[in-house]
């Protein structure tokens, strides 16, 4: 994961003003090994900066994600953020649903994906969710329902309705 200094450098290199609040945000993600919700970040920042709005926190998280400083993952309970991996090579992750330990996938599954010939891919992301050996062995897994599938329907190739 990126360090606090690397996160601050990433902000600065992309023209963001480095305020005390952004330094605190960088420190939080640089030192926290796991994933944080926007609410987690808001509660942490609110203890240090009274009057800080949730919208401001969320807007900064989105900007840092768009700059490539933070990773964003959609868990069953919602969107979470963490500092981007410090590895510069292209890779994907397997994520434990219990402890949120993250393991790199050594190859890109996109290379073996049989996509339609008339579709131009501009970006992709693979995340595999399950349970790590430690959580399985410790019997600490809390029963959760399976994650909803988020892909085009198998029959017609049309995207599933989001209504």
**Is 154 annotated among the ligand-binding residues?**
no
**Is 85 annotated among the ligand-binding residues?**
no
Nearest to 24 by CA among 45, 10, 38, 54: 45
**Is 91 annotated among the ligand-binding residues?**
no
Residue count of the chain, please give it: 163
Three-state DSSP at 52 gives coil
90-123 burial: b if 16+ Cβ within 10 Å, else e: eebbebbbbebebeeeeeeeeeeeeeeeeeeeee
Give yes or no for a contact between 80 and 71, defined as CB atoms under 8 angstroms apart: no
**Is 108 annotated among the ligand-binding residues?**
no
Please state the residue numbers annotated as binding site for Zn(2+).
96, 99, 132, 135
Please state the residue numbers annotated as binding site.
90, 96, 99, 124, 132, 135
Please state the residue numbers annotated as binding site for Fe cation.
90, 124
């Amino acid at each position: 994961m990126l360090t606090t200094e690397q996160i601050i450098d990433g902000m600065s290199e992309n023209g963001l003003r480095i305020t005390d609040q952004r330094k605190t945000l960088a420190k939080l993600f640089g030192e926290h090994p796991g994933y944080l919700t926007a609410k987690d970040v808001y509660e942490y920042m609110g203890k240090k900066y009274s009057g800080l709005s949730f919208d401001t926190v969320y807007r900064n998280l989105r900007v840092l994600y768009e700059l490539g400083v933070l990773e964003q993952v959609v868990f069953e309970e919602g969107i979470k953020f963490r500092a981007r991996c410090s590895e510069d090579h292209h890779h994907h992750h397997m994520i434990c649903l219990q402890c949120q330990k993250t393991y790199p996938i050594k190859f890109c599954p996109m290379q073996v994906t049989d996509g339609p010939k008339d579709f131009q891919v501009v970006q992709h992301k693979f995340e595999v969710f399950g349970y790590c050996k430690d959580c399985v062995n410790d019997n600490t897994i809390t029963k959760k329902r399976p994650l909803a599938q988020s892909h085009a329907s198998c029959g017609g190739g049309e995207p599933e309705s989001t209504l």
